[in-house]
Structure 1
Amino acid sequence: MPELPDLSDEYANAAHIPGGADFLPRWTVQAAAFRDALGDRAVLGQPYGPGPRDWFDLFMPAARARGTLVFIHGGYWRAFDPRLWSAFASGALARGWAVAMPCHTLAPDARLSAITTQIARAVDAIALVQPGPLVLTGHSAGGHLVARLACTDVALAAAPRVARVLPISPLSDLRPLMQCDFNADLRLDAAEAARESPALRTPRAGIDAHVWVGSAERPAFRDQARWLGTAWNAPVTEDPGRHHFNVIDGLADPGSALLRAALAGL
């Protein structure tokens, strides 16, 4: 049987983006400044379970919230926590929405199936303290996780309140990731890769899903977005000129096409 090709470079991003190494330091500075400026409207480290990464940050608008946008961060399920992306809450806040950013255990300390269950618990906990509709969005691995919450096989008590799911640059079919070097941490096998792939699962009836991806992203990510849109009969928007790191910039702009897609009509 021929050896399968190594797909690690196809799913690498920073090395293929001009100035790719500069994004994380810039986001870190912007996030800290945003939290400081928000003062007591930044409610940090709210627990949703007993584990050290069972917490979420909640950012509140100046007036009563119209609903809550839940954003789940990327990092191939292996890196970071949501504090890096705090400033991206600013666009939804300006539109009168609260924003919640949950943390989760990282691989290899947890398998993807456990992370999916953990994020479902986080969203249920957020729903208990936040009234109104929920919009679930996430980037890259976070896009995968919000798409998983929209699948019928994931227990989510808050599902009836989810008004929209907007995966950004999601990983929707995990089988190719078994051919990447970072699978040493993920430990995906064929059964788990298929079970945790939103593009291979059944979406909840009537789910309002919209898939978003940058037109300048790696072909593998554009494929992943297209696969999910096709499987779910959901619209797929290719944001012109956007790569994997700046495709989320619209979350910080209250007038952006990305936020209109997330919050329109709600």
Structure 2
Amino acid sequence: MARWAGRAEAARAAHAPERIAYGPGAREGLDLFTPEGQPEAPVAVFLHGGYWQALDGAAFHGVAPALLSQGIALAIPTYDLAPAVSLGQILRQVRAATERIRARTGYRPLVFGHSAGGHMAAALLSEGRAGAAVAISGVFDLLPLLETSLNAALRLDPLMATALSPIHWPVPDGSSPGGTTLDCWVGADESAGFRRQSHTMADRWGAAGADTSVRELAGLNHFTVLDPLFEAGSPEVARLVELARDCARETHREATPA
């Protein structure tokens, strides 16, 4: 986290982001980094982790430089945290943030996120609000959290956990108004539980018609799995660039979902 903070500070010093409100709350804002001289650059949205109860978007500004160098703009929302708000309210906030970007660009952006952010990225794809999603160490089935200390803040019961688990949500397919691509990335050195969640999610959605894949990143754990995003020449950044450009080329401009 100290390395994340250092990279974030350097990113802001090199390229100050535009602050955009997506709601009335103090944390309901997003930071938009746009490549110099490229106001129409494709935009991706990054959703931060912290188990829905820690951190903010500013901690992850260090993700921006590698994408900016490849001509991709990056929006990083901040949202309220549990236990002050429910997980359902957090989902409503990231919906609003993503729709704010969609209203600005006219297309469904690539949405990618880490840990809790991976959960939210998959949810937005299911709802047709994202053109594609990349979930990095995502949590797609919340039931295993019920017996952990994390649930002291989340206050989930079995019914709520099931309802808020995107592994059970409708699967985007070719007839749905959003994208169909879900990449699940996970560190090869992460726990069996995290790796299993990514594989199970990709298998279930893939069997139902989505374009899914799993990438286990060698030598990386739940925190260092973000390291490739700081390197402009990494295969992971190249994949994000590809997906962001594909989303920007979306030809269908359906009405924004309610």
Q: Measure, in 1, the Cα distance between the counterparts of 2:200 and 2:85.
A: 26
Q: Measure, in 1, the Cα distance between the counterparts of 2:224 and 2:186.
A: 10
Q: Measure, in 1, the Cα distance between the counterparts of 2:65 and 2:198.
A: 25
Q: Measure, in 1, the Cα distance between the counterparts of 2:34 and 2:112.
A: 17
Cα separation, partners in 2 of 1:230 and 1:165, compared to 1, 3 Å: same
Report the counterpart of residue 54 of structure 2 in structure 1: 79
Does the aligned pair in 2 maintain the 1:91–1:250 contact within 8 Å? no
1:101 matched to 2:73? The reply is no
For each residue in 1:170-193, what CA deviation from the matched residue of structure 2 results, as whole angstroms up to 9, or x when unmatched? 001000000111101000111111
Report the counterpart of residue 123 of structure 2 in structure 1: 148
Larger mean CA deviation between 217-226 and 251-260 belongs to 251-260
1:48 matched to 2:26? The reply is no
For each residue in 1:14-73, what CA deviation from the matched residue of structure 2 results, as whole angstroms up to 9, or x when unmatched? xxxxxxxxxx1221122112101114xx213x2111111110001010232431110000
TM-score by length of 1: 0.83
1:37 matched to 2:11? The reply is no
TM-score by length of 2: 0.86
SS at 1:49's partner residue? coil
- Aligned-pair RMSD on alpha carbons? 1.5
Q: Measure, in 2, the Cα distance between the counterparts of 1:251 and 1:27.
A: 11
How much does 1:226 deviate?
Answer: 1.1
Query: Tell me, which stretches of 5 or more residues in structure 1 are unaligned?
Result: 1-23
Q: Measure, in 1, the Cα distance between the counterparts of 2:41 and 2:215.
A: 25
**Which residue, out of 202, 210, 233, partners 2:170?**
202
For each residue in 1:207-230, what CA deviation from the matched residue of structure 2 results, as whole angstroms up to 9, or x when unmatched? 111111111111111111112111
1:193 matched to 2:161? The reply is yes
Does the aligned pair in 2 maintain the 1:113–1:192 contact within 8 Å? no
1:230 matched to 2:198? The reply is no
Query: Tell me, which stretches of 5 or more residues in structure 2 are unaligned?
Result: 175-179, 207-211, 246-258
Q: Measure, in 2, the Cα distance between the counterparts of 1:29 and 1:263.
A: 24
1:113 matched to 2:88? The reply is yes
1:258 matched to 2:236? The reply is yes
Report the counterpart of residue 242 of structure 1 in structure 2: 220
Report the counterpart of residue 4 of structure 1 in structure 2: none
Q: Measure, in 1, the Cα distance between the counterparts of 2:41 and 2:173.
A: 24
Identity %: 35
Does the aligned pair in 2 maintain the 1:61–1:98 contact within 8 Å? yes
Aligned length: 233
How much does 1:231 deviate?
Answer: 1.4
Report the counterpart of residue 212 of structure 1 in structure 2: 185
SS at 1:138's partner residue? strand
Q: What amino acid sits opposite 1:205 in the alignment?
A: D
